[in-house]
């Protein structure tokens, strides 16, 4: 096939990965990932993951450190737990980060709920997290736009509130909605600029694309600039069986799950040698994913190898020929 033909059929793909080191290693890792060619550096958060809690951090401070250590790589929260923020505070924090980074923030958002104890610790009702998130995103977009906002919601009431300065990116930093259920898809269609599910099969991803497009059509919203992302967990080892075992152990500990994760990882993760991971990832790309944010599933001592292997062996397979 001629290079011109390849370029004409290769989708516009973008790749990133989640931070794998300790918080004190954030600056070094962000620089390293930028040098490797990643387009996104992501960090997530929990406030009390279990009781007693496993180690976690807040995402926005980590992304701020990464911003100061880099020049080009985009900074992705994957994800910010929106119910823990007042919209005025979140608008100010994110506008500051977007300005300080030169317009590199992508705000990945979700509602959480896997750990009700963290909601209790913050004085929040876990059952209100969806409605609270919707209200926060409605207000956030208006504050970012520089409006003087008066808003009377169930959870937030504002009277003539504005922020100054507003974000560098126009009209505002992209908001990627994460989740797995229809409520999250509806939130993405109405209040998001992108969709970033996790623990999805390619078939379910394709179905979510259809549903979000359907929700948007009902509201008369144009999704031509919408960003379709996916957050795959990946475990790279000589065999699928070894990779699945490592991934199940890693994710089982991460999610404090007492059951068997083998079915989950076989259904939703990229497993095995690089070629097998490429083949599986292609199914998600065929289903509509264009922004791929890898999360490595392996012991700490093997994370750097994963990040390098993805950058040097997996991503180049999907890169168009440079003319």
Domain assignment present for residue 4? The answer is yes
CA distance 107 to 90: 11
For the beta carbon of residue 122, count every other beta carbon within 10 angstroms.
12
Domain assignment present for residue 105? The answer is no
137-154 per-position pLDDT tens digit: 999 999 999 999 999 999
CA distance 98 to 143: 14
Domain assignment present for residue 57? The answer is no
Q: Could you list the residue range(s) of the whole structural domain that residue 323 is in?
A: 1-13+234-323
198-253 per-position pLDDT tens digit: 999 999 999 999 999 999 999 999 999 999 999 999 999 999 999 999 999 988 76
For every residue of 155-190, DSSP letters joined together read S-EEEEE--SSPPSSSS---EEEEESSHHHHHHHHH
Domain assignment present for residue 269? The answer is yes
Domain assignment present for residue 120? The answer is no
Mean residue pLDDT of the chain comes to 93
Tell me the mean pLDDT in the region 245-274. Answer: 82
276-312 per-position pLDDT tens digit: 999 999 999 999 999 999 999 999 999 999 999 999 9
CA angle 226, 232, 236 (to 5 degrees): 145
Domain assignment present for residue 23? The answer is no
Q: Rounded to a whole number, what is the distance in angstroms from the first to the last CA of the chain?
A: 14
| Phi, psi of 129, deg, nearest 5 | -65, -35
C-alpha distances (whole Å) from 323 to each of 3, 11, 39, 44, 198 are 7, 16, 21, 37, 35
C-alpha distances (whole Å) from 31 to each of 35, 42, 49, 63, 205 are 6, 13, 28, 12, 31
Cis peptide before 79 (omega within 30 of 0): yes
CA distance 197 to 180: 6
Interacting residues of 14 by C-beta distance below 8 A, sequence separation 6+: 39, 40, 290, 291, 292
C-alpha distances (whole Å) from 299 to each of 43, 190, 304, 305, 308 are 18, 39, 10, 11, 15
Kindly indicate the confidence band of residue 3, based on its pLDDT and cuts at 50, 70 and 90.
very low
**Exposed, middle or buried by CB within 10 Å (0-12, 13-18, 19+), for 72?**
exposed
Domain assignment present for residue 292? The answer is yes
Kindly indicate the confidence band of residue 190, based on its pLDDT and cuts at 50, 70 and 90.
very high
Domain assignment present for residue 206? The answer is no
CA distance 179 to 188: 9
10-22 per-position pLDDT tens digit: 679 999 999 999 9
Number of structural domains in the chain = 1
| Phi, psi of 50, deg, nearest 5 | 90, 175
């Amino acid at each position: 096939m001629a290079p011109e033909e390849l370029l004409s059929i290769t989708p516009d793909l973008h790749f990133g990965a989640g931070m794998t080191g300790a918080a004190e290693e954030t600056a070094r890792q962000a620089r390293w990932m930028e040098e490797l060619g990643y387009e996104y550096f992501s960090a997530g958060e929990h406030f009390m993951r279990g009781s007693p809690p496993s180690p976690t951090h807040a995402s926005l401070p980590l992304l701020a450190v990464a911003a100061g250590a880099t020049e080009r790589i985009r900074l992705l929260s994957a994800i910010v737990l929106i119910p823990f923020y007042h919209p005025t505070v979140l608008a100010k924090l994110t506008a500051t980060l977007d300005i300080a980074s030169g317009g590199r923030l992508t705000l990945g958002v979700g509602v959480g709920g896997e750990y009700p104890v963290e909601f209790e610790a913050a004085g929040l009702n876990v059952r209100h997290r969806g409605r609270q998130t919707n209200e926060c995103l409605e207000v956030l977009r208006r504050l970012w736009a520089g409006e003087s906002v008066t808003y009377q919601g169930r959870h937030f009431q504002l009277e003539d509130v504005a922020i100054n300065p507003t974000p560098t990116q126009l009209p505002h930093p992209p908001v990627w909605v994460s989740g797995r259920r229809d409520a999250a898809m509806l939130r993405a269609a109405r209040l998001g600029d992108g969709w970033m599910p996790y623990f999805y099969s390619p078939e379910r991803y394709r179905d979510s694309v259809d549903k979000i497009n359907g929700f948007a059509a009902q509201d008369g919203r144009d999704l031509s600039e919408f960003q379709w992302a996916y957050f795959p967990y990946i475990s790279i080892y000589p065999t699928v069986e070894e990779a699945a075992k490592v991934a199940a152990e890693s994710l089982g500990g991460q999610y404090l799950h007492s059951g068997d994760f083998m079915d989950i990882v076989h259904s939703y993760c990229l497993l095995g040698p690089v070629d097998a991971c490429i083949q599986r990832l292609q199914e998600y790309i065929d289903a509509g994913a264009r922004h791929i944010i890898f999360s490595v599933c392996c012991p700490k001592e093997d994370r750097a190898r994963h990040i390098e292997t993805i950058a040097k062996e997996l991503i180049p397979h999907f890169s168009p020929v440079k003319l």
